[in-house]
Structure 1
Amino acid sequence: MFVDQYADNAPVLKAKVELESGSTKAVGEFHEDSGDYKFAVKSFEKPGEYPVTLTVTAGDDVDILAANLVIPDGHAGEDHAHGDNTSSPLYQRIGIGAAALVVLALLILGVRRLKKTRGAGGLK
């Protein structure tokens, strides 16, 4: 997962990114070479919709973001008679990547809302 600033889309590097979904809790491992955060969890391997809360702490700034991570069913509508190859690891990775992009877009919207609330006299 990549984490960027709302105002200028600059990457947020070396932050503490905590993920929570149901009983799953994990802290993202920052990879300096790629600038992303990875979570060592297996909770999202099965298709479904997962409520996710992320807490991003960077210096004195703390943002809490909520979204639903949707992992599509790679076998939905699959026609086994025609040898459909949508269960290959490549298609599964594409599906997971697409779901991650949806979560990232929802996170960006959450940050925008939080910043608007702060700018309108909300909590700091």
Structure 2
Amino acid sequence: MKSTHPLAVLSLAAFLLGTGMPALAGEGHDHGDATPVATGKALPRFAAVSETFELVGVLDGKQVTLYLDRFADNTPVRGAKIDLEIAGAKFSAQSHGDDAYEIVLKEAPKPGVLPITATVTAGSDVDLLAGELDLHEAPHADDPVHQHSWKEYAGWAVGGLAALAVVVLGGRRLMAARQPQAGGAA
């Protein structure tokens, strides 16, 4: 007669592997105790692409910084004339440094999807690019962020142990029902 139940052994092994043994990492693979921290805010941006140019715009409040590159080899285009139309309002970009252009809007755009059209003139190349800027309302700083408490983890642990107990007891009953009864009639 067998004294071990395969289901009970498997359940115990799964429990020990899942919770009882710590995860071990070799040297250089443990990633330390520090958690990554975001260092800056993600600014809304748009892209407009054609066969000749690639234009990327980054919105920071009322300021739009534009980066213009050649599509074929991704080299920056310097000295170009960029006329931008954002939701019906027209602006001319000014050169800002070597690789960027800048536009200052009259007011910060409202949340929503804004159509953008750019007319780019660089030497003999003239191109029309189109894109859209999708602005979402910023989350409020005073909105609570859900954090898990130890009570939630304890509840899940108790529920898991209860489920494990049901599986083990059910397996025992099933195994006991399948074993032949000794001492039958002769």
TM-score bracket for the superposition, by shorter chain length: 0.5 to 0.7
TM-score normalised according to structure 2 size:
0.39
**Residue 47 of structure 1, CA deviation:** 1.5
3-state SS in 2 of match to 1:56 = strand
Looking at both structures, which has the greater relative contact order when contacts are Cα pairs under 8 Å and sequence separation is at least 6?
1
Matches within 5 A, 1:77-96: 78=140, 80-82=142-144
CA distance in structure 2 between the partners assigned to 1:22 and 1:81 by the alignment: 31
Q: Does structure 1 residue 72 correspond to structure 2 residue 72?
A: no
Q: Does 1:17 align with 2:82?
A: yes
Percentage of pairs with the same residue: 38
Q: Report what 1:46 is aligned to.
A: 110
Change (3 A) 1:79 1:61: closer
Equivalent residue of 1:11, what SS?
Answer: coil
Equivalent residues of 1:19, 1:27 under 8 A apart: yes
Gap change, CA 1:79 and 1:5, over 3 Å in 2: closer
Relative distance call for 1:52 and 1:43 in structure 2 (3 A) is farther
Equivalent residue letter for 1:40: V
> CA separation in 1, counterparts of 2:88 and 2:116?
11
- How far the C-alpha of 1:44 sits from its partner, in A, is 4.6
1:81 Cα deviation (Å)? 5.0
Letter paired with 1:41: L
Distance of 1:81 and 1:10 partners within structure 2: 43
How many angstroms does 1:43 deviate by? 5.1
Q: Is the 8 A contact 1:15 1:56 kept in 2?
A: yes
Structure 1: which 5+ runs fail to align? 84-124
Q: Kindly indicate whether the alpha-carbon contact (under 8 Å) linking 2:78 and 2:98 is maintained by their aligned counterparts in 1.
A: no
Give the corresponding residue for 1:107: none
Structure number, greater radius of gyration = 2
Task: Measure how far apart 1:38 and its partner are.
Answer: 0.7
Q: How many residues are treated as equivalent by the alignment?
A: 81
Change (3 A) 1:43 1:52: farther
